[in-house]
Homo-oligomer: A and B are copies of this chain.
């Protein structure tokens, strides 16, 4: 990007405020859930949310997800790609095509 990555900036931000002490694995996990609840609030009463508000709340969920990945010594893209490999095995194209059923109901 030519600029610093998100996780580098997040680490600097937290270190400057001495906030790393609050970022246990458990607290980060709780924070992901808290922020997901605020994201869900964008569609609480209907399915046409304010896009800027969704971006704002999604940014918070992503922030804690990135901090949690970092605390686990992982990178977000790698976690996604590793999981995708196992999901591909569980949902083969021929069985899963066009269906939202859970893999054990396919």
Within 8 A of B (CB), among A57-91: 58-63, 65-66, 68-69, 72, 74, 76-77, 79-84, 87-88, 91
Grouping DSSP codes into helix (H, G, I), strand (E, B) and loop, the A interface class, with mixed when no group exceeds half, is helix
Q: Which of A37-51 contact B (CB under 8 A)?
A: 37-47, 49, 51
Contact of B9 with A25 in the complex, beta carbons under 8 Å? no
Assign chain A's interface to a size class: 35 or more
Spell out A's residues near B (CB within 8 Å). Answer: 1, 3, 5-6, 9-10, 13, 16-19, 21-22, 24-27, 29-47, 49, 51, 54-56, 58-63, 65-66, 68-69, 72, 74, 76-77, 79-84, 87-88, 91, 93, 96-98, 100
